[in-house]
Amino acid sequence: MDFDQTQDTDKKCCCRPVVGRGCCFTEGENGPEAFAKEGCFKLHEENWLEEYPQHTEGDIFEVRFKNTRRGFYQNVNNLDLKHGDIVAVEAAPGHDIGIISLTGDMVLKQMRRTGFNPQNGEFRKIYRKAKPYDIERWQEAIALEHETMILSRQIATDMGLNMKIGDVEYQGDKIKAIFYYIADERVDFRELIKVFAERFHIRIEMKQIGARQEAGRIGGLGACGRELCCASWMSTFSSVTTGAARAQDLSLNPQKLAGQCSKLKCCMMYEYDAYADARKSLPRVREPLQTVDGEWFLVKTDILAGMMTFSSSKDTMSNLTTISAARVEEILAANRAGQRVEQLPDADEVNDTIEEPTYRSEEDSITRFDKAKRRNKKSRNKQKAKGEARGEQKEAAAKEPKSENQATRNEAAQEAKQANGHEAKGTGNESKNGGNELKNEQRNPGKRDQRARTRNEKAQPAKGQSEKPQNEPKPEGAAPEQQAAAEGQERSNNHRSNHRRFNHHRRRSNGGQGGNGGGNAE
């Protein structure tokens, strides 16, 4: 590829295609230029005879215009034309601009397929290849189409006409426009044409189209995910009835049978002939099949596979059994002869097992997400139930022993607190009156001995369970200081024994303070 071709390619790639026309506009050295662009127009074609030699040297070319409008024109000037050239063709009046879409033998096949007949046996002419002036006028005309369509819809609504203007197409020389409209009934648009002519200053042509043609001009995607047939390749439409749906055992649901045009889908007729031929080989079952076990009723028929499904109940789908059409004919012949067969399927059919499709991995299964969700939900419910059961068992097992142990601990703690309270109270009172007692004992030694014996008798019940034996009282002739020290030692020993007994039921600080406080006070 040389430099000039590379520059032209870069120039073509930087422009924006015009949707519906299948072309792009650029600014060249001599003025505006246009070239064909694939993928942005309707009724795509594929010249599958392009690589083969041409059998006939024809001068007829197919030229496409906006959306689905196409025509056949004759190259009277022997121009060197090829696929994708922009040409100026004859129109009435003036001229129009189009793009060559088919050449050679494919043109004759296309004319035969569409049933095209030239007017008065003559084709319209191809004048020339489009010049910069023609392309500039064509580009201006295309820019007016959308605005003209909006204004024309408003005018038709103001005049109260029951019609819908779906599209407007300007002629290449900008002196004429075609208004495509849809109407359920006959519309008198003579006054509308006068208003359009005064408003837009062009020649007006009104063309009525159906719902299928409108869907083809607008385009879109069908329920199958592909481009609409009426927008990609279908140019002629045949009538479609609900009989085609019944012949193929389709559900008579209007929402599923209707296309984007709100009419029955054209694709219902694609396989109608195959279903009609296959249905001829199936037996007609007007009565239930008679067997030894009972009657069997027809509920479903697989036309292409030649299989028929029967149910043992007339109203419900129970005990469904699928057998071949040949077996049904055998049973019908036996019933006409007054005989009942032993079983509905044949012995060979009973032994045949239908193999389910196996998948190479879990990723290939179309139900892998459903299974995963179901499995996770069940496992979560099981784990939750097990956890709740274990929690209830633990709570039930822990409640009874805990209550008994707690009660025992509370009783022991209360007894310890009472004992400590009496002892602490006694030691506190003795500590307060300690000084007075020492003075009285020094004055009257007899009373001093009597008080010592009384204190020993009061402390005897609390020390009854002590591990160490009690100390014997001191002789009467002992000094007061020695007597007080001996009594303090006895109290501290008693407190230590009580602390060892109730060390698990009370705090260590209460026992220590009571014992130490009483001893220090004395």
pTM listed for this prediction = 0.56
Partners of 308 in the β-ladder: 301, 323
Q: By C-alpha distance, which of 31, 28, 34 is closest to 4?
A: 28
Q: List, in sequence order, every residue forming a beta bridge with 302; answer none if it has no partner.
A: 307
Same-domain pairing of 500 and 441: yes
Query: Are 93 and 144 in a shared domain?
Result: no
| Tens-place pLDDT, residues 234-263 | 877 888 888 899 888 888 888 889 988 888
Q: With residue 204 as reference, give the H or E element that holds it.
A: strand 203-208
> How many angstroms separate the CA atoms of 371 and 359, rounded?
14
**To the nearest whole percent, how much of the chain has pLDDT over 90?**
13
What is the mean predicted confidence (pLDDT) over 60-68? Answer: 87
If one counts the domains in the chain, the total is: 5
* 171 or 21: which leads in pLDDT: 171
- The CATH number given to whatever domain includes residue 219 is 3.30.300
What average pLDDT score do residues 17-22 get? 72
14 and 94 assigned to the same domain: yes
Q: Do 293 and 311 belong together in one domain?
A: yes
**Considering only 115-124, 356-365, 470-479, which range has the smallest mean pLDDT?**
470-479
* pLDDT number for residue 166: 87
Residue 465 confidence (pLDDT): 45
Q: 253 and 321, same structural domain?
A: no
Domain boundary among 99, 133, 167: 133
- Identify the pLDDT of residue 12: 46
* The pLDDT of residue 155: 92
pLDDT of residue 512: 45
Any idea of the CA torsion for 310, 314, 317, 323, to the nearest 10 degrees? 0
| pLDDT score, position 196 | 92
* pLDDT of the residue at 514: 43
Sheet holding 307-311, edge to edge: 289-290, 295-302, 307-311, 321-324
pLDDT reported for residue 209? 87
Residue 37 pLDDT > 80: no
Task: Provide the 8-state DSSP code for 228.
Answer: P
Mean pLDDT of 332-336: 91
| pLDDT at 103 > cutoff 60 | yes
Asked whether residue 174 is assigned to any structural domain, the reply reads yes
Of 207-211, 371-375, 407-411, highest mean pLDDT = 207-211
For the segment 172-188, what is each residue's pLDDT rounded down to a tens digit? Answer: 888 999 999 998 888 88
Question: Which residues span the domain enclosing 108?
Answer: 3-133
Q: Examine residue 392 and state whether it is found in any structural domain, yes or no.
A: no
How confident is residue 220, by pLDDT bands cut at 50, 70 and 90? confident
Report pLDDT for 420: 55
Report the pLDDT value the prediction gives residue 413, as an integer from 0 to 100: 66
Query: Has residue 96 been placed in a domain?
Result: yes
Residue 444 placed within a domain: yes
Separation of alpha carbons 25 and 86, rounded Å = 11
Residue 97's pLDDT band, with cuts at 50, 70 and 90, is very high
Is pLDDT of 47 > 50?
yes
Token couple for 174 = 């900008």
Residue 72: partners with Cβ closer than 8 Å, 6 or more residues away? 60, 61, 62, 63, 107, 111, 116, 118, 123
Residue 452, pLDDT score? 63
In the predicted structure, residue 270 carries a pLDDT above the cut 80 = yes
pLDDT at 365: 65
**How much is the pLDDT for 170?**
92
Claim to verify: residue 7 and residue 127 sit in the same structural domain: yes
Averaged pLDDT, 38-67: 76
Asked which of 90, 105, 133 is the last residue of a domain, the reply is 133
Helices marked H in 72-131: 105-114
Whether 13 and 104 share a structural domain = yes
* pLDDT of amino acid 8: 46
Residue 469 lies in a domain: no
Residues 486 and 415 in one domain: yes
Q: Are residues 177 and 64 in the same domain?
A: no
For residue 173, being part of any structural domain is answered with yes
Q: Do 117 and 16 reside in the same domain of the chain?
A: yes
The answer as to whether 400 is a domain residue is no
State the average pLDDT over residues 202-227: 88
- Identity (one letter) of the amino acid at 344? L
CB burial readout 436-460, b (16+ within 10 A) else e: ebbeebeeeeeebbeebeebbeebe
In DSSP terms, which residues pair with 264 in a beta bridge?
A: 258
- What the block records as the tokens of 276 is 């009609």
Triad 205, 116, 74: Cα angle to 5°: 85
Does residue 230 surpass a pLDDT of 50?
Answer: yes
In a domain, 449, yes or no: yes
Last residue of a domain, one of 250, 278, 306: 278
User: What does the alpha-carbon distance between residue 24 and residue 15 come to, in Å, rounded to a whole number?
Assistant: 6
Are 227 and 301 within one domain? no
> Tell me, what's the pLDDT at 501?
64
- Quick one: average pLDDT of 427-440? 48
Percent of all residues in the chain with a pLDDT value above 70, rounded to a whole number: 64
pLDDT of residue 395: 72
pLDDT above 60: residue 89? yes
| Residue 148 pLDDT | 92
**Taking 60 as the threshold, does the pLDDT of residue 303 lie above it?**
yes
143 and 128 together in one domain: no
